[in-house]
């Protein structure tokens, strides 16, 4: 049995998820800085591991929010209202 050669994905298609990940990461870093400032702490006093944990938490919040908004958009598109 002959196997077909693997089709390569165009570069621009692979770049889209990377751009989204980069944008989410930058937004998470901004939110983590805000969170640190609100707490009255100095980012220089936190360890690299603590900073990574804060950024990861903010990334999770952003991703969760995006998923929730996506589901609500699909429901709205289908004409389904959950709130009334």
64 inside domain: yes
39 inside domain: yes
According to the model, what pLDDT value does residue 15 have?
A: 67
38 inside domain: yes
Q: How far is 51 from 32, CA to CA, in rounded Å?
A: 8
3 inside domain: no
According to the model, what pLDDT value does residue 36 have?
A: 94
4 inside domain: no
According to the model, what pLDDT value does residue 14 have?
A: 65
**Cα within 13 Å of Cα(84), Cβ side:** 2
According to the model, what pLDDT value does residue 34 have?
A: 95
According to the model, what pLDDT value does residue 71 have?
A: 83
Q: Structure pTM?
A: 0.70
The boundaries of the domain holding residue 57 are 13-78
According to the model, what pLDDT value does residue 33 have?
A: 94
Mean pLDDT by 10 residues, the chain (84 residues): 58 72 94 94 92 96 91 81 65
Q: How far is 2 from 25, CA to CA, in rounded Å?
A: 43
68 inside domain: yes
Q: How far is 31 from 55, CA to CA, in rounded Å?
A: 8
According to the model, what pLDDT value does residue 10 have?
A: 64
Q: How far is 23 from 17, CA to CA, in rounded Å?
A: 10
1 inside domain: no
56 inside domain: yes
Could you give the number of structural domains in the chain?
Answer: 1
Closest CA to 62 of 13, 16, 17, 20: 20
């Amino acid at each position: 049995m002959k196997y077909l050669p693997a089709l390569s994905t165009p570069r621009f298609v692979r770049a889209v998820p990377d751009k989204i990940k980069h944008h989410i990461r930058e937004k998470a870093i901004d939110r983590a800085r805000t969170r640190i400032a609100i707490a009255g702490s100095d980012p220089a006093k936190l360890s690299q591991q603590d900073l990574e944990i804060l950024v990861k938490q903010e990334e999770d919040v952003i991703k969760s929010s995006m998923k929730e908004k996506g589901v609500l958009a699909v429901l709205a598109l289908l004409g389904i209202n959950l709130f009334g």
